[in-house]
Amino acid sequence: MTQKILDVAVNFPGLKSVLSYKGKSTEDYEVGDILEVPLGRRNALGCVINIHENVNNSIKYKEVTGKENEFFKLSSEEIALYQWISKYYVYSLGKLIFDCLPKHLKRQKEPYFITGKGQDFTFELNEEQQKILVNFDLQNFSQTLIHGITGSGKSLVFFKMIERAIAQNLSVLFLVPEINLTTQFLEFFSVHLEVNVYAYHSSITGGEKFNLWRTVKNIDSAALFVGVRSSIFLPIKNLGLIIVDEEHDSSFKQNDRCQFNARDVAIKKAHLANIPIVMGSATPALENYYRFQNKDNYFTLTSRFGESELPEISVIKNGSEEDDCWPINKSLLQQIESTVSEGYKVIIFVNKLGFSKYLQCKSCYEAFDCPNCSVKLTYFKGREALECHLCEYKEKTPRMCPHCGCLDLFHQGFGVEKVVESLPQFADKIIRFDRDELKNQKDVARVLAEFKSGAKQILIGTQMISKGHNLAGVKLLIILGVDSRLHSTDFRASERVFQEIVQVSGRAGRFGEKAQVYIQSDLRPKFYDFIIDKSFDDFQKDELGHRELLGLPPFQKMAEIVFEGKTEFQAKTKSYQFKDFIEKVSERNHFEVQVRGPISSPIKKRKNKFYWQIYLMSPKNGEISNLLYQVKQTKEALFQDSYINIDP
């Protein structure tokens, strides 16, 4: 009898995580089996990815320790997806698989689902909506992008698509960027569809997750799965359609471990399963917008549902520090007053927690820095403390400058607390809406109920406002603190700010009321013209022009490699050594890859560690991953304390 060799992707972070083992003669093995295998002086979990008989005499094979029958066997399609992710994001296959699989827990909990009521729901689709559905079929892999303004009824199109899949007894995976968006979809879908609806998000416990995997592998009737990023790994049986809502959202990017983008993984998953994928957004990611230009499966929805119109948007100057109502421009006070007295609502959007951005000494200009990070401490008036937003550091607000002894300290910049304080005449009508004030979903629900009922009419808060909430009666919306965000060194800064302004503006005038949005800014970038005119295509085209000129995505593929060191010198040295080596390999093997940097990271010190980084650019898709993969395979030590971020 010939000896069977099992190639096993073992759970450890080395790139060469696929090791070969002898099987036990008493046991049968198949590709996809989860095994326990010896690794050094310990055991680890692994997944069989290949079985063959080619014995290599230079390897001393160890024998498999055991088979994990309690675990789920991976299908060849799942393995293919994990292999693609591992190659593209340059991440250990074995580690990836066991990062994604649910942990096998003793405590069992049955997964929760909502039984769909299948109540009749009749609505007229407009011409644009119908056009999308006419040619949509579930037969093969296809990609569709729906670019629809906020409130244009994308969900109705999704609904029709899901209905069709279910009619063919096919399950649907509906991806959303964040949990707070799922509730309204869950409600809508479960009332009108006649299938079980499962929600998948971070608050699902280990036991429930494990059982959900068991369930999705075995259910025969169609079901709908509404989930966040990690739900792309659910091995859903008879999956017939994937929908990615708010496709542009940065929450789809994982920023620890394997830094995949769930939208891109979803596309690959649809491709491997040979099923359609549909993406939707009011502000498509530039990469996607560019990819879909002049394609048949790019659709726009340009009219708002029902009577509603998009709000009118204007840009006005930042408030003057002389005025009592600073940072709000005093010319807006009258509008706030009249909006409130007419019984309508106001939202004020601020990008910063706390009271002031930082504290500074009036005589020597000493500012209070975090001792562990290269950022200034934020002043919180409620707690009378200075706090770091990157680490745990906090201290009581100092009375005098520790540097020169001066007692005159002044505040720079503003946060939510300050904005609330700047409108004392409305104090009894204001709700503060930020992570600091609202600790859980319960708080959020309570406060939103107060706002909806009209008990409170002014909502002042951070990014938490911008997503998903369907609020009636918002006639005035003020956006503060845009300028500092535009000054960021991130090449996506204007794209992100643009997306956020559009998303936030979408909160106003959703139920027929004519609304007004004011953006306070002293800058005059061209993109305000595009925002005011609502010519979103023109913004995208203008931004594409800049990107092309600078050779940035989507015109080139990009990767960012960050090096961590205990000292700045160490981080810097590592990044230079890496650059030298990768440039040599790239040249020698004729890779079309250009190295930019090294450069100190935008925040060069975090939690007492220092960061330097380099960028890799290439006009060819997959080229950077191939180069990195090759270098990492031959010289893994160069990657010690580094983070690879593909398509940052």
Judged by the rule CB under 7 A, the positions of this chain that interact with DNA are 12-14, 16, 19-21, 37-42, 59-62, 566, 637, 640
Identify which of residues 54 and 294 has a Cβ nearer to DNA in the complex.
54
In angstroms, the CA 156 to CA 181 distance is 16
In angstroms, the CA 355 to CA 415 distance is 5
In angstroms, the CA 90 to CA 627 distance is 10
| 262 burial level (CB within 10 Å; 0-12, 13-18, 19+) | buried
User: In the complex, what is the shortest distance from the CB of residue 96 to DNA, in angstroms, rounded to a whole number?
Assistant: 12
Is 379 within 8 Å of 397 (Cβ atoms)? yes
- Extended beta strands in 373-532, E state: 378-380, 385-387, 394-396, 409-412, 430-433, 458-461, 474-479, 516-520
User: In the complex, what is the shortest distance from the CB of residue 186 to DNA, in angstroms, rounded to a whole number?
Assistant: 36
In angstroms, the CA 45 to CA 31 distance is 15
Give the ranges where 197-301 is alpha helix by DSSP (H): 206-218, 262-273, 286-292
Identify which of residues 38 and 597 has a Cβ nearer to DNA in the complex.
38
Identify which of residues 38 and 235 has a Cβ nearer to DNA in the complex.
38
Identify which of residues 462 and 575 has a Cβ nearer to DNA in the complex.
575
Identify which of residues 211 and 575 has a Cβ nearer to DNA in the complex.
575
Identify which of residues 13 and 405 has a Cβ nearer to DNA in the complex.
13
Identify which of residues 14 and 235 has a Cβ nearer to DNA in the complex.
14
User: In the complex, what is the shortest distance from the CB of residue 18 to DNA, in angstroms, rounded to a whole number?
Assistant: 8
Q: Is 472 helix (H, G, I), strand (E, B) or coil?
A: coil
Half-sphere exposure of 646 (CA within 13 A, CB side): 25
User: In the complex, what is the shortest distance from the CB of residue 577 to DNA, in angstroms, rounded to a whole number?
Assistant: 11
Half-sphere exposure of 41 (CA within 13 A, CB side): 0
Is 180 within 8 Å of 246 (Cβ atoms)? no
Q: For residue 355, which of 408, 400, 413 has the smallest C-alpha distance?
A: 413
Identify which of residues 22 and 201 has a Cβ nearer to DNA in the complex.
22
Which pairing describes strands 385-387 and 378-380: parallel, antiparallel, or unpaired?
antiparallel
Identify which of residues 61 and 511 has a Cβ nearer to DNA in the complex.
61
Q: For residue 265, which of 246, 292, 242, 287 has the smallest C-alpha distance?
A: 242
User: In the complex, what is the shortest distance from the CB of residue 636 to DNA, in angstroms, rounded to a whole number?
Assistant: 7
Give the chain's largest Cα–Cα span.
Answer: 90
Is 201 within 8 Å of 129 (Cβ atoms)? no
Angle between helices 76-88 and 262-273 (to 10 degrees): 140
Identify which of residues 182 and 575 has a Cβ nearer to DNA in the complex.
575
Identify which of residues 49 and 517 has a Cβ nearer to DNA in the complex.
49
Give φ, ψ of 172 to 5 degrees.
Answer: -130, 135
User: In the complex, what is the shortest distance from the CB of residue 14 to DNA, in angstroms, rounded to a whole number?
Assistant: 3
User: In the complex, what is the shortest distance from the CB of residue 638 to DNA, in angstroms, rounded to a whole number?
Assistant: 10
User: In the complex, what is the shortest distance from the CB of residue 610 to DNA, in angstroms, rounded to a whole number?
Assistant: 14
User: In the complex, what is the shortest distance from the CB of residue 566 to DNA, in angstroms, rounded to a whole number?
Assistant: 7
Question: Letter for the amino acid at 517?
Answer: V
User: In the complex, what is the shortest distance from the CB of residue 40 to DNA, in angstroms, rounded to a whole number?
Assistant: 4
Half-sphere exposure of 32 (CA within 13 A, CB side): 12
In angstroms, the CA 223 to CA 238 distance is 9
The set of residues, in sequence order, having a beta carbon less than 8 Å from that of 16 and lying 6+ positions away, is 633, 636
DSSP string computed for 138-178: SSS-EEEEEEE-TTS-HHHHHHHHHHHHHHTT-EEEEE-S-
In sign, the C-alpha dihedral spanning 406, 408, 412, 418 is positive
Identify which of residues 527 and 610 has a Cβ nearer to DNA in the complex.
610
User: In the complex, what is the shortest distance from the CB of residue 62 to DNA, in angstroms, rounded to a whole number?
Assistant: 3
User: In the complex, what is the shortest distance from the CB of residue 76 to DNA, in angstroms, rounded to a whole number?
Assistant: 22
